Amino acid sequence: MPSTSTPKPVPKAKAPPAAPTGPVDPAPPEDVSEPDFLTQLRTAHGAAIQKVSYWVGDWSVIVSLSSLLDVVKYLRDAPDAAFDYCSDVTATDWPPRDQRFDVIYCLYSTRHRHRVRIKVHAAEDEPVPSVTDIWPAANWLEREVYDLFGVNFVGHPDRRRLLMPDEWQGHPQRKDYPLEGPGELLMENPQDWLRLRNIRDEAEIE
Amino acid sequence: MKIEAPRPMFDTSELVLNMGPQHPSTHGVLRIVLRLDGERVVDADIVVGYLHRGIEKLCENRDWSQIILLTDRMDYVAAASSNLGYCETVEKLMSVEVPRRAQYIRTILGELQRIASHCLWLGTHAMDIGAMTVFLYAFRERELILDLFEEYCGARLTYNATRIGGLPLDIPPGWDKKVREFCHIMDSKLGEYETLLTHNRIWLDRTKGIGVIDGPEAIAMGLCGPTLRGSGVPRDVRKDEPYAAYDEFDFEVPIGTEGDTYDRYLVRLEEFRQSLRIIRQAVDGLPEGPIVGKVPRLIKPPAGETYHAVESPKGEIGFFIASDGRSTNPYRFRVRPPSFCNLQGLRRLIRGHLVADVVALIGSIDIVLGEVDR
Amino acid sequence: MVDTLVVPLLKIIILLNAVLVAVTYMVLLERKVIAWVQSRLGPMRVGPYGALQPIADAIKLMTKEDITPTRADRWVFTASPIIVMVPALIVFAVIPFGPEVELFGRSVPLYITDVNVGLLYIVSIASLGVYGIILAGWASNSKYPLLSSLRASAQLISYEVAVTMTLVSMVLMAGTLSMVGIVESQREAGLWFAFVQPVAFVIFFIGGLAETNRAPFDLPEAEQELTGGFHTEYSGMRFALFFLAEYANMIVISCVAVTLFMGGWLRPFPSVEALGFLDLVPSWIWFLFKTFVFLYVFLWIRATLPRYRYDQLMHIGWKVLIPIAIGNVVVTGIAKVLL
């Protein structure tokens, strides 16, 4: 039986949420006191520090790119900080921002058992100094960040792709890289690419 | 036994040997390109990425609860530890309190997982060096643990065993009795492994003095877990930054002295015993109560980012998760895999050793390629 | 005529067949024993409890495609497995399975022949097998089999010296090179020589493990993963010959050890009258039983021990076993003069 009543109103499509423009990096609350090494860092390299943040028990310090090596070397060598263990080097991609990459260094001290995160903002091709001389652990970690994000590390002893094949184009973990992979974007003629790669592999093995 | 490099009499060129991705003893798809001078390894280039599935990017497009399934598949040998690490990180982000009963059961699962992973390590390491029987004995015990897990969550390898806020299921009735029985069996079997290997002259010859690295250098190289502890560094996330219910239990962290393969072997062997100790304490003191904390139906942590680490059998597995507060997926999901960081130390460990030691060293650092490549 | 032609011919035919069957069943025995050590069952499908497995293996190997690399040296490639297998078989000619027994009204010795330099014959013929290994690696025309075969042959030659030294001490003990003579001298002494010469026994056994490329000295075999063993390029029946030659060598070493050290066909405690009832068991059964015990120990060791690295292997052969073996000869010689 045909309905003559008015159809239910179609709900207006909600506007999609705006893309986040950057990490929140909340400031430390009033009742939490800064750890000693942070106070000393402010004294030693106060100009380098852009922001100190505290969230769910983690301290992070945003420093300027130019003074990254100094800050990091200080943190490793200062007796109160003694961050001798580089837990992780990673990056986050915030595309709307000018300096789209957040390169994050998670450091740990085996002596004092405290952690800190150092963050720097880097634009797409902006050179980021490599911390491999300070912690050899950062070798592969930075290689992976270069491979998946395309962060331009300078001074790295072995800057090659790590997880992706050597001749891959593009940096997969960026937000504008499709999840399903490049598809036709990657190669004009897949047969050529395969043939070239086979020739190179054979030459390598011989 | 000290082997001296021969003085060059003729002009010899170095041989490049490829231990390709398909290889019986590389524990997965790992490719090592060795540069040899005669039999000695001059340098090694380790090529990974054959098992790269893009888990991090996948997780950034999945629900917070769906990601638990994906964390199983990274370190597929010790899936419960990755599950636990992820759930704890999200709980830290959301400041959710997990009830005590759930903490205890998570600890039991974590320690059972540690024993299972070490069983696999022991079996494959011994088999690579030639003692085939230990492989089957270790897997026999691993089967017992897998049966326990199957009874708990229905799966033998990819458990999906924790949820954000607690656990999906309570333990079935009689499970704790079975766990106690298992602990009892495992104690006697450990004696078997020790008899076969620990004082075996051939085992000592093959593992003593191989891959020596001292404490400060190991820390700088980023090694973690038993690989680091074998060099005398008392670093264990369970003691340094306690999580789950570890601060309530009494256990020791074994550390080595020389930093060679034999010490790493002894460290892991002792970890078996300490895990059994923890499990017994946990099972005996299991409190009553709910198994899931107060968690909203739709999980949306407030905006922020955090890094949290747990001690998986391979080492410190860290999760760096950033949430933007409004979508149902994490904005950034990053795993800091222990096997990845240990594997980059392999290049330094191999130098100067013979080709036959390469397999011993790969076994000694205990890697899982699923975790290295993600 | 019958005694000089027909009987030895019959013995040869019986022995060859028995050895070949024994060698194929050694494969099954190894799989079964190692499986039982590892708390599993081994082959169970073919035949009752897997007893027909060797037949399935033989059929498989015989019907496999016979691949010869194009640039391999064809004649040498074909000849190498034969050069490895034949010495292992012809050594059995001097191994005494028992004393003279009465069969069909004539006195038949349970060995094909008793050469009065039997031990020398064994040592020299067994060494010929090394040629086959070197030629196999050479004929494959490939880098890695060549290196691996040179390594395997170096291992064999090194341990050959230590083993021969122990045999020299046994000759000093027995006073004769003839295999039957050595067993007779053990009967006269009323004691198995293993109790008199324990050092020689142990060295012989360890050297035997290394000679046959068995664990813990099987790195040339296990290194197939890395550089390819000397039999990489072989498939089908030729590969089978290498394999069977290895097991035949194992049986040879066991038989020689039994003859020299464990009293050959003698029953335990041959001089003790009270155990005379043990004589009900025929002598050759004792021999086979003792050989079987030896083979079982070979398999047991393979299942249990890890393997040595190549340089450690050579170190043991040259710097440990040979000095001890030489010392043993000296001590035996002095003792023989004084006693």
pLDDT computed for residue C32 by the predictor: 92
Interface of A with B (CB under 8 A): 17, 20, 23-24, 26, 55-58, 84-88, 90, 92-93, 104, 106, 110, 113, 115, 117, 135-141, 144, 148, 161-165, 172-173, 177, 179, 205
Put simply, the answer to whether A24 touches B327 (Cβ < 8 Å) is no
CA distance to partner chain B, nearest, from residue C50 (Å): 21
Residue window 325-354, chain B: list those with CB within 8 Å of chain A: 325-327, 331-332, 334, 336, 340-341, 343-344, 348
Put simply, the answer to whether B39 touches C311 (Cβ < 8 Å) is yes
Put simply, the answer to whether B344 touches A139 (Cβ < 8 Å) is yes
Q: For residues C274 and A6, what is the distance between their CA atoms, to the nearest angstrom?
A: 116
Torsion of CA B98, B102, B106, B107, to 10 degrees: 90
Decide if pLDDT at A205 tops 70: no
pLDDT computed for residue B280 by the predictor: 93
Put simply, the answer to whether A110 touches B233 (Cβ < 8 Å) is yes
Decide if pLDDT at B180 tops 90: yes
Q: How far is CA A29 from the centre of its chain?
A: 26
Nearest by CB to residue C222, choosing from B19, B130, B205, is B130
Question: Using the 8-state DSSP alphabet, how is residue C319 labeled?
Answer: I
**Amino acid letter at C333?**
G
CA-nearest residue of chain B to A17? B326
Split at pLDDT 50, 70, 90, the class of B261 is: very high
pLDDT computed for residue B7 by the predictor: 57
Chains contacting A (3 or more CB pairs within 8 Å): B
Put simply, the answer to whether B306 touches A137 (Cβ < 8 Å) is no
Q: Is the distance from CB of B276 to CB of B108 less than 8 angstroms?
A: no
Put simply, the answer to whether B137 touches C39 (Cβ < 8 Å) is yes
Put simply, the answer to whether C309 touches B354 (Cβ < 8 Å) is yes
- C292 in contact with chain B, both atoms CB, cutoff 8 A: no
Chains contacting B (3 or more CB pairs within 8 Å): A, C
Decide if pLDDT at B199 tops 80: yes
Distances from the Cα of B350 to the Cα of B41, B308, C3, angstroms: 7, 31, 66
pTM: 0.87
Q: Is the distance from CB of B320 to CB of B307 less than 8 angstroms?
A: yes
pLDDT in tens, chain C (339 residues): 666 788 888 889 999 999 999 999 998 999 999 999 998 998 888 888 888 999 998 898 888 887 888 877 788 888 888 999 999 999 998 888 888 887 777 788 888 888 888 889 998 988 888 888 888 888 887 777 887 888 888 888 889 999 999 999 989 888 888 888 888 888 888 788 888 889 999 999 999 998 888 878 887 776 545 556 777 778 788 888 888 888 999 999 999 999 888 888 887 777 777 777 777 778 888 889 999 999 999 999 988 888 888 888 889 989 999 999 999 999 999 998 887
Q: Is the distance from CB of B244 to CB of B270 less than 8 angstroms?
A: no
* Each residue's pLDDT tens digit, A126-184: 899 999 999 999 999 999 999 999 988 998 988 889 998 888 888 888 888 888 777 65
Put simply, the answer to whether A84 touches B341 (Cβ < 8 Å) is no
What lies within 8 Å, CB to CB, of C78 at 6+ separation is C68, C238
Q: Please count the residue pairs, one from chain A and one from chain B, whose beta carbons lie less than 8 angstroms apart.
A: 109
Question: What is the DSSP secondary-structure string of chain A?
Answer: ----SPPPPPPPPPPPPPPP-S---PPPPTTPPPPHHHHHHHHHHGGGEEEEEEETTEEEEEE-GGGHHHHHHHHHHSTTT---EEEEEEEEE-TTSSS-EEEEEEEE-TTT--EEEEEEEE-SS-EEE--TTT-TTHHHHHHHHHHHH--EEES-TT---SSS-TT--S-TTSTTS-TT--GGGT-S-HHHHHHHHHHHHHHHH-
Which of A115, A162, A171 should we substitute to test contact with B (largest number of B Cβ atoms within 10 Å)?
A162
pLDDT computed for residue A202 by the predictor: 66
Indicate the range of B29-38, B198-207, C287-296 predicted with least confidence. B29-38
CA distance to partner chain B, nearest, from residue C301 (Å): 10
**Amino acid letter at B319?**
F
Which of B136, B207, B361 should we substitute to test contact with C (largest number of C Cβ atoms within 10 Å)?
B136
pLDDT computed for residue B265 by the predictor: 93
CB hemisphere CA count around C165 (13 angstroms) = 27
Burial of C32 (0-12, 13-18, 19+ CB in 10 A): buried
Cis peptide before C87 (omega within 30 of 0): no
Q: Which residues of A touch B326 (CB under 8 A)?
A: 17, 20
Nearest by CB to residue C315, choosing from B1, B25, B39, is B1
CA distance to partner chain C, nearest, from residue B24 (Å): 7
Q: What is the mean pLDDT of chain A?
A: 82
pLDDT computed for residue A6 by the predictor: 59
Which of B307, B342, B371 should we substitute to test contact with A (largest number of A Cβ atoms within 10 Å)?
B307
Share of chain B above pLDDT 70, in %: 96
Put simply, the answer to whether C312 touches B205 (Cβ < 8 Å) is yes
Question: What is the DSSP secondary-structure string of C125-158?
Answer: HHHHHHHHHHHHHHHTT-HHHHHHHHHHHHHHHH
CA-nearest residue of chain C to B359? C226
> Tokens at residue C247, please?
């097991």
Put simply, the answer to whether A17 touches B327 (Cβ < 8 Å) is yes
Which of B57, B91, B255 should we substitute to test contact with A (largest number of A Cβ atoms within 10 Å)?
B57
Q: What is the mean pLDDT of chain B?
A: 88
Which of C309, C311, C316 should we substitute to test contact with B (largest number of B Cβ atoms within 10 Å)?
C309
CA-nearest residue of chain B to A147? B49
Which of A61, A62, A115, A140 should we substitute to test contact with B (largest number of B Cβ atoms within 10 Å)?
A140
Nearest by CB to residue C226, choosing from B136, B205, B355, is B355
Decide if pLDDT at A4 tops 70: no
Higher pLDDT, A118 or A23: A118
Q: Which residues of A touch B53 (CB under 8 A)?
A: none
Phi-psi region at A181: left, alpha or beta (left = phi > 0; alpha = psi -120 to 50): left
> Tokens at residue A79, please?
């007796």
Split at pLDDT 50, 70, 90, the class of A193 is: low
Q: Please count the residue pairs, one from chain B and one from chain C, whose beta carbons lie less than 8 angstroms apart.
A: 70
Put simply, the answer to whether B205 touches C309 (Cβ < 8 Å) is yes
pLDDT computed for residue B12 by the predictor: 63
Three-state SS for chain B is: CCCCCCCCCCCCCCEEEEECCCCCCCCCCCEEEEEEECCEEEEEEEECCCCCCCHHHHHCCCCCCCHHHHHHCCCCCCHHHHHHHHHHHHHHHHCCCCCHHHHHHHHHHHHHHHHHHHHHHHHHHHHHHCCHHHHHHHHHHHHHHHHHHHHHHCCCCCCCCCECCECCCCCCCCHHHHHHHHHHHHHHHHHHHHHHHHCCHHHHHHHCCCCCCCHHHHHHHCCCCHHHHCCCCCCCHHHHCCCCCHHHCCCCCCCCCCCCHHHHHHHHHHHHHHHHHHHHHHHHCCCCCCCECCCCCCCCCCCEEEEEEEEECCEEEEEEEEECCCCCCCCEEEEECHHHHHHHCHHHHHCCCEHHHHHHHHHHHCCCHHHHHC
Split at pLDDT 50, 70, 90, the class of A201 is: low
What lies within 8 Å, CB to CB, of C147 at 6+ separation is C137, C227
Nearest by CB to residue A20, choosing from B61, B331, B340, is B331
CA distance to partner chain A, nearest, from residue B314 (Å): 14
Put simply, the answer to whether C306 touches B136 (Cβ < 8 Å) is no
Q: Where are the domains of chain C?
A: 2-338
Contact exists between A and C (3 or more beta carbon pairs < 8 Å):
no
**Amino acid letter at A153?**
F
Q: How far is CA B318 from the centre of its chain?
A: 12
Put simply, the answer to whether B131 touches C37 (Cβ < 8 Å) is no
